Structure 1
């Protein structure tokens, strides 16, 4: 079996999208790094990939020859430099990339690259043309780390929420920042004794650590997993039990959105400097980093729910949720946020104060990390086949 990503000749197509748009849908056997840009004289769209297998793909079929495109007059593809493939689409008029996204199936590893272009003015087109100098195209192919191959300790960064001038939730004299630091220390001790983990805390005392710095720490130590620890309190309404969150720009519900807003002090995009990049190229780079990370984070969250449910007696009625937490926005590290409970709920408060309950919760997290690491390595091997 070829190690190259294969382009599906049946499911891939270039077609008009309405009267003023162009759609490019490429189905691949696996996700690959890519970039997209336009060139002038003549007008054309360029897609660069890590080398892909075009076997069975024909230009006419790709262009949907039975319904000729108004905006795409020709397409050609092949290897343009060692290790890289290129698809060039000749445009009949000025167009601008509106969206570029590659999605990966969590179950099969198959990928879908979807681009949407819209008609634009000549001046706008010419202002955007040119090959971007992102720097990543001269780098060697990324090799999965030994840890994802099932070898070596799992590097876990534990992030006790809040701290210092930001105490977090407070209830009956108890402070979220203090309780989460205590739990993080206990969890670190448990994971260290296990022997399969290297654990780093984003803070080891009651100090304020900016959100961006928390994620920077994870990158600096080469984290495989980032876990932010919190315990909220509600001023209105009632809620109880532990919840595991992953990143989503749209929250699971209004309560999740409000929770994210309370935890976040800044709207940051941690871990990547995109200030010098064109918006579309920036989106592509972020998509590239998140191709595998998002489903891996989802799997981690699911496993943490199972682990916690098996060890503690109180889970939220919806234990698996998502929201736009800034601290989870690192694009290349599977990141989750665990709300151990609500300090505003008397039973949750007593649980979190209890050393024996915290030990059970820590064991649930440890077991989940062990199971996730094994499954993650197995999925990585499947995708590489």
Structure 2
């Protein structure tokens, strides 16, 4: 970032930008360890299941999954100091035990809830109080039969903390890994586009998981997903998760549907208040309406000063996002990935509004186009597109690092 802009932004954004983007003026710095606020955290019985409500001093990335033999629900956080809350909590019917502490994977904390009967996560979401900066994670467990529970049980690959494999031909351009936050669009009560038995939410989650694994195999990239399962995550919370993870790049993945003949092929979007075309505008409206399901108003006016500071920050991040978009288009072309006639567009997507993170939204294809849908369902095609994405991320990171080094000189 330009030193003059940084000198203005850093002391003031801590108080203003967090209000605009849901972190709160009273939030701790993201470098501090999040704390569980015991008096506002609870386990309670609900009709058909159990609700786990955890109040945290600040937002952090988290993931939820189930394990069998014995049956339990695991909630991993990056990271949370639980204190002794789990030792004194009263267990509602359906639960047989609870424990909290460090996870086996470095940099993560883990909460384990032992189940007395089969239950699976029905919803899992994080909300942030804009006034205090506190985050609330709510996981609702619903009853399930044994077969359903076992079919869903299993830790995601990243929960085991596998050692990354360093590419022999690529080396880090800086001392630390590139942090990429991948945002699988939709989820939970918002399935996104639907075609036959396929939902956009499921397809992009599969794609995002595969892309995460491909990026991690380079040994240069740390990846965080904004959702690990079919759950609803509010749009502003997705940005909050990216900021909490210290993202160098935010990439939202979609596979929307528009009227037949209007859209086909991969398309990448960067932020603009004015959409590049009618289709881009329609997509932005379609995506942002998802938050109306949770009653969130995304159109409140920013404070004038905060708005000016956001614009200053985007003087730095907008060219970097544009650089990624251009690199991705080149990488797709080199890999012969099918692209839209206008592969790079602009629109006012809410998930692209983080002033301090280069952000882009990728339509891997359009479910309304039969050829695109067939591609998205084809593992070989997905692998080819993911390979092009990995190349683009690494090439962009190299160029971005070189540009920053020149700026320091």
Give the counterpart of 2:184 among 152, 160, 164: 160
SS in structure 2 of the partner of residue 342 of structure 1: coil
The answer as to 2:296 corresponding to 1:258 is no
Are 2:260 and 2:368, in contact at CA under 8 Å, matched by a contact in 1?
A: no
CA drift of 1:269 comes to: 8.1
CA drift of 1:237 comes to: 3.9
Higher-helix-fraction structure: 2
Per the alignment, residue 181 of structure 1 pairs with: 205
The answer as to 2:390 corresponding to 1:366 is yes
The answer as to 2:175 corresponding to 1:151 is yes
SS in structure 2 of the partner of residue 152 of structure 1: coil
Per the alignment, residue 106 of structure 1 pairs with: none
Matches of 1:353 and 1:188 in 2, distance apart?
A: 18
SS in structure 1 of the partner of residue 179 of structure 2: strand
**Gap runs ≥5 in structure 2:** 10-171, 292-296
CA drift of 1:236 comes to: 4.8
Per the alignment, residue 29 of structure 2 pairs with: none
Superposed, 1:1-385 pairs within 5 Å as: 33-34=7-8, 150-265=174-289, 266=291, 268=298, 278-279=303-304, 281-385=305-409
Per-residue CA distance 1:188-207 (angstroms, 9 max, x = gap):
11111110000010001000
Are 2:269 and 2:345, in contact at CA under 8 Å, matched by a contact in 1?
A: yes
Per the alignment, residue 116 of structure 1 pairs with: none
Rg bigger for which structure? 1
SS in structure 2 of the partner of residue 322 of structure 1: strand
Return closer, same or farther for 1:313/1:301 CA change in 2, 3 Å cut-off.
Answer: closer
Matches of 2:233 and 2:358 in 1, distance apart?
A: 20
Are 1:149 and 1:381, in contact at CA under 8 Å, matched by a contact in 2?
A: no
Matched length: 241
Per-residue CA distance 1:182-226 (angstroms, 9 max, x = gap):
000000111111100000100010001100111111011101110
CA drift of 1:311 comes to: 2.0
Matches of 2:311 and 2:348 in 1, distance apart?
A: 16
Are 1:34 and 1:288, in contact at CA under 8 Å, matched by a contact in 2?
A: no
CA drift of 1:381 comes to: 1.4
Matches of 2:398 and 2:260 in 1, distance apart?
A: 41
TM-score (norm 1): 0.59
Per-residue CA distance 1:320-375 (angstroms, 9 max, x = gap):
11100000000000000000111111110000000000001101110001000010
**Gap runs ≥5 in structure 1:** 6-29, 36-147
SS in structure 1 of the partner of residue 365 of structure 2: strand
Per-residue CA distance 1:140-185 (angstroms, 9 max, x = gap):
xxxxxxxx97331100000000001100011132110000000000
Matches of 1:330 and 1:218 in 2, distance apart?
A: 9
Return closer, same or farther for 1:149/1:34 CA change in 2, 3 Å cut-off.
Answer: farther
CA drift of 1:238 comes to: 2.9
Matches of 1:229 and 1:192 in 2, distance apart?
A: 17
TM-score (norm 2): 0.56
